[in-house]
């Protein structure tokens, strides 16, 4: 694809990039399914235009939010392209969220349309009626049936793209907060397009690439990093509905790039069929969303000859750093700030800048960084410095060669298999269970997920056991947030200020999942 002029990244949007690829090579594959089905760029443009009409007919106007909680399928992905065409603000939701969790997101974002799984239609319709939200459409798990498919079927296959400004919102992604409510990160077209172009060039994507896509499409990694780079390069994705290590092994010989969370890589390494030969068509393995252990990095290199390229990002910032494509990919490091991104290390207490080598909080600024949290100006103000740097809450340092290293988090956050869990939210749910006096939620090392959630609980009723806790949380919290183990204690350890000593708890239960 033709190079865009250097400042074009700020001017363009993902739909324009898609249209450019489609004009250049309409018959090139966009989505390749395991069963051999191919969706070309032209077909994806036509189907997403029909969906954009269905959105419009359902009452969606430019600037309206479209909330989407459906299983991953080609049609589900096309709803992203449809929202872009309609000028709507895309609001993808983790498929694990319960109705209780959805109530907050939908109430906060007041979408003009909610697209949900067919089997959830009644519950979502009731919730929407309760929240006075106007419109619900459905999609089944393989994306071939549902009221969305019916509504799109007879529609025209072109859509008059609602022109957008670079600063207009393209998407809102909710991220949990250390305290209190989840926050909707507002991402503008320019945030997404500039990052897609920067990464396409940094990682040398071309139209010849085949990206093995096994990530969910409701988060930054699978929806924006993987999909938007593919679009920016005019390349194709081998599109899997979920991660399954056997599928990855089977399809890898057809692929050139894999993007995954560290669990993908540890599961691949644990598979006897994963060999240097199998990876011979691959040019790039990218890891992110959680720390990749130096050990997995080294074992992977020994097995395949490939150095996994680790990068660092966040919902609020898209991608901020990356190890180099050429040059050393350092195990345990997330590489250099991407072109156009400024990154610095500050003292978390004083906010003063720290010299090279010292550990502090990572702050970033650039075209990748979001505009703020939906309807939360105070929260937004708290997380930006006066000079426009966003305070990530991640702790790190920059080494003598300029590589960024992440060493921990200033925020109380657990990352399990690439999903974020804020202990405060789980503690609040535990504390509401009758018979529980108080709780502390920690993350402890877990070979498969990196970290796993553990609830340390002081019961006021000796009859409360783990099964009761599990049952009480089932409808309350998404499965990935629920503690993998609940430990009962007589007292939670507290310091002289009365604060629960989580570091001590993490130490005490560090081997809970050791084999």
Residue 498, judged by CB atoms within 10 A of its CB (0-12, 13-18, 19+), counts as exposed
Report how far residue 88's alpha carbon sits from residue 172's, in angstroms, rounded to the nearest whole number: 11
Report how far residue 452's alpha carbon sits from residue 474's, in angstroms, rounded to the nearest whole number: 17
Which residues in the 206-235 window bind ligand MLC by CB under 6 A? Answer: 215-216, 219-222
Size of the site for ligand MLC (CB under 6 A): 21
76 binds, among ligand MLC, ligand AMP, none (CB under 5 to 8 A by kind): none
Question: Parallel, antiparallel, or unpaired for β 372-373 and 183-188?
Answer: antiparallel
Q: Which is nearer to ligand MLC, 242 or 494 (CB)?
A: 242
Is the separation of the CB atoms in 31 and 226 below 8 Å? no
Is the separation of the CB atoms in 221 and 261 below 8 Å? yes
Does position 423 interact with ligand MLC (CB under 6 A)? The reply is no
**Residues binding ligand AMP (CB under 6 A):** 175, 220, 288-291, 310, 312-315, 334, 392, 394, 406, 409, 415, 420
Beta bridge partner(s), residue 91: 67
222 binds, among ligand MLC, ligand AMP, none (CB under 5 to 8 A by kind): ligand MLC
Does position 80 interact with ligand MLC (CB under 6 A)? The reply is no
Does position 289 interact with ligand MLC (CB under 6 A)? The reply is yes
Does position 479 interact with ligand MLC (CB under 6 A)? The reply is yes
Residue that has been written with the tokens 């070979």 in this structure: 447
Q: Which is nearer to ligand MLC, 112 or 452 (CB)?
A: 452
- In the complex, minimum distance from the CB of residue 446 to ligand MLC, in angstroms, rounded to a whole number: 9
DSSP letters for 337-383: EPTT-EEEEE-TTT--B--TT--EEEEEESTTS--EETT-HHHHHHH
- In three-state secondary structure terms, 317 is coil
Structure tokens at 463: 């009859």
E strands, 367-473, are 372-373, 390-398, 404-409, 414-416, 419-421, 436-446, 450-459
Residue that has been written with the tokens 């929407």 in this structure: 128
- In the complex, minimum distance from the CB of residue 1 to ligand AMP, in angstroms, rounded to a whole number: 28
- In the complex, minimum distance from the CB of residue 343 to ligand AMP, in angstroms, rounded to a whole number: 13
- In the complex, minimum distance from the CB of residue 187 to ligand AMP, in angstroms, rounded to a whole number: 11
Beta carbons within 8 Å of 82's beta carbon, 6+ residues apart: 48, 49, 51, 52, 54, 55, 159
Q: Which is nearer to ligand AMP, 86 or 308 (CB)?
A: 308
The secondary element (H helix, E strand) that includes residue 296 is: helix 294-304
- In the complex, minimum distance from the CB of residue 315 to ligand MLC, in angstroms, rounded to a whole number: 6
243 binds, among ligand AMP, ligand MLC, none (CB under 5 to 8 A by kind): ligand MLC
Q: Which is nearer to ligand MLC, 337 or 417 (CB)?
A: 417
72 binds, among ligand MLC, ligand AMP, none (CB under 5 to 8 A by kind): none
- In the complex, minimum distance from the CB of residue 173 to ligand AMP, in angstroms, rounded to a whole number: 8
Q: Which residue is nearest to ligand MLC (CB)?
A: 417
Does position 261 interact with ligand MLC (CB under 6 A)? The reply is yes
Q: Which is nearer to ligand AMP, 230 or 289 (CB)?
A: 289
Does position 314 interact with ligand MLC (CB under 6 A)? The reply is yes
Q: Which residues bind ligand MLC (CB under 6 A)?
A: 215-216, 219-222, 243, 261, 263, 288-289, 313-315, 416-419, 449, 479-480
């Amino acid at each position: 694809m033709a190079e865009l002029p250097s400042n074009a990244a700020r001017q363009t949007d993902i739909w324009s990039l898609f249209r450019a690829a489609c004009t250049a090579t309409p018959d090139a594959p966009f989505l390749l399914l395991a069963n051999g089905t191919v969706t070309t760029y032209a077909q994806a443009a036509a189907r997403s235009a029909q969906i954009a009409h269905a959105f419009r007919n359902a009452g969606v106007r430019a600037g309206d939010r479209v909330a989407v909680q459906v299983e991953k399928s080609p049609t589900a992905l096309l709803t992203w392209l449809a929202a872009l065409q309609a000028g709507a603000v895309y609001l993808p939701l983790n498929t694990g969220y319960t109705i209780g969790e959805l109530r907050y997101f939908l109430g906060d974002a007041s979408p003009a349309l909610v697209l949900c799984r067919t089997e959830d239609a009644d519950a979502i319709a009731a919730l929407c009626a309760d929240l006075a939200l106007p419109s619900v459409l459905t999609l089944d798990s393989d994306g071939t049936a549902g009221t969305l498919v019916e509504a799109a079927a007879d529609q025209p296959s072109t859509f008059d793209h609602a022109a957008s400004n670079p600063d207009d919102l393209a998407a809102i992604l909710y991220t949990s907060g250390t305290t209190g409510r989840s926050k909707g990160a507002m991402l503008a077209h320019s945030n997404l397009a500039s990052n897609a172009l920067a990464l396409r060039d940094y990682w040398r994507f071309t139209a010849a690439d085949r990206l093995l896509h096994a990530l969910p499409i409701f988060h930054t990694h699978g929806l924006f990093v993987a999909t938007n780079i593919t679009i920016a390069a005019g390349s194709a994705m081998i599109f899997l509905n979920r991660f399954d290590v056997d599928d990855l092994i089977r399809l890898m010989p057809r692929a050139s790039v894999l993007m995954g969370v560290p669990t993908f890589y540890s599961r691949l390494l644990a598979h006897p069929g994963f060999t240097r030969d199998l990876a011979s068509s691959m040019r790039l393995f990218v890891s992110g969303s959680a720390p990749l252990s130096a050990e997995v990095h080294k074992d992977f290199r020994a097995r395949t000859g490939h150095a996994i390229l680790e990068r660092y990002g966040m919902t609020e910032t898209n991608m901020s750093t990356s190890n180099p494509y050429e040059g050393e990919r350092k195990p345990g490091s997330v590489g250099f700030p991407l072109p156009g991104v400024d990154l610095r290390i500050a003292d978390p207490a004083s906010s003063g800048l720290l010299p090279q080598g010292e550990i502090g909080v990572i702050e970033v600024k650039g075209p990748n960084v979001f505009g703020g949290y939906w309807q939360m100006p105070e929260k937004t103000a708290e997380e930006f410095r006066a000079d426009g740097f966003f305070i990530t809450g991640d702790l790190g340092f920059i080494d003598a060669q300029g590589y960024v290293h992440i060493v921990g988090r200033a925020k109380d956050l657990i990352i399990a298999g690439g999903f974020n869990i804020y202990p405060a939210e789980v503690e609040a749910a535990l504390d509401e269970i009758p018979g529980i006096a108080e709780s502390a939620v920690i993350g402890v090392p877990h070979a498969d997920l990196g970290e796993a959630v553990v609830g340390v609980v002081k019961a006021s009723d000796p009859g409360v056991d783990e099964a009761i806790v599990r049952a009480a949380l089932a409808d309350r919290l998404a499965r990935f947030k629920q503690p993998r183990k609940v430990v009962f204690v007589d007292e939670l350890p507290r310091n002289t200020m009365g604060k629960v000593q989580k570091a001590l708890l993490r130490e005490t239960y560090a081997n809970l999942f050791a084999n």
